[in-house]
Structure 1
């Protein structure tokens, strides 16, 4: 009987420890642009939105913040990274894979700042379905939450109605 209880306890312990905490990746679009040039800064409204994103994620224990190498995404990511106490890590929008990112950050919370025409594609690739369309050019409050757990990705889209004006 003692042996059976010991074996049961060992199996139970191994099952508990083999279940890993999910990795959560939040993807947001950069905030409002100052103009239509290729590498523009944020507008005043965009700067306010970037600060609001930092407040929105306060207390979430963000382990990493990623951004493309454009002024508007780096500026949006800066407030988030400062609040989380991490450096912004740059990524190439051409060579980006959420599954690989999740593997690099098991059990952590990550924020990725990107673009209206790339973020939905990353999410679709992660979940294996073309569920999400590009974000409208006038929409800056969209959050995609992708949770990786047990080799499966699940996603949901939320709109955060920050009131920002110039």
Structure 2
């Protein structure tokens, strides 16, 4: 009985530590893509996009990332290229992405590069309230910082680089 109690107490203690930790999740849309070839389904970043990717690195220069997540497109990977990151993991499914972060990255800092039609869905999937109704195809300068604790998340929205909304 004593061993059972000790095991239970240890498990409870570990669970409390895990749930007490918050995970920092930064979410950005990829930077401006090259639109010179309308037939290119996987374009690189444009010159303006490369500048914005550099601006992202400046904005996040004090954050030490443990991992990054990007879709299989060149533009999401290139948006993260300026950051110093141990590993970039490709994701396809938002639900699986959120499950992986909640399971394997508790207490860590990660960055996720998405698309105009997925960034707000990712915020929703973490359980935070959307700070913006929608992202248009022209919205490149927003960055979202989520603080995830257990099943709850809070989000702060900011802008970085050259303002896209003049």
Normalising by structure 1, what TM-score?
Answer: 0.77
Q: Bigger radius of gyration, 1 or 2?
A: 1
- Tell me the secondary structure at the aligned position of residue 81 of structure 2: helix
Q: Distance in 2 between matches of 1:95 and 1:159?
A: 26
Partner in structure 2 of residue 136 of structure 1 = 136
Q: Tell whether 2:153 aligns with 1:148.
A: no
Report if aligned partners of 2:30, 2:79 keep a CA contact under 8 Å in 1.
Answer: yes
Report if aligned partners of 1:48, 1:164 keep a CA contact under 8 Å in 2.
Answer: no
Partner in structure 2 of residue 23 of structure 1 = 23
Following TM superposition, by how much is the alpha carbon of 1:126 offset from its aligned partner in structure 2, in angstroms? 1.8
Partner in structure 1 of residue 162 of structure 2 = 163
- Answer with 148-157 or 21-30: which moved more: 148-157
Report if aligned partners of 2:91, 2:97 keep a CA contact under 8 Å in 1.
Answer: no
- Tell me the secondary structure at the aligned position of residue 137 of structure 2: coil
Partner in structure 1 of residue 65 of structure 2 = 62
Match for residue 44 of structure 2 among 17, 41, 44: 41
Q: What RMSD over aligned residues (CA atoms) do the two structures have, in Å?
A: 2.7
Unaligned runs of 5+ in 1: 1-13
Report if aligned partners of 2:128, 2:155 keep a CA contact under 8 Å in 1.
Answer: no
- Tell me the secondary structure at the aligned position of residue 45 of structure 2: coil
Q: Distance in 1 between matches of 2:97 and 2:49?
A: 26
Match for residue 52 of structure 1 among 44, 51, 55: 55
Aligned length: 148
Report if aligned partners of 1:93, 1:118 keep a CA contact under 8 Å in 2.
Answer: no
Decide whether aligned partners of structure 1 residues 142 and 108 sit closer, same or farther in structure 2, where only a CA change above 3 A counts.
same
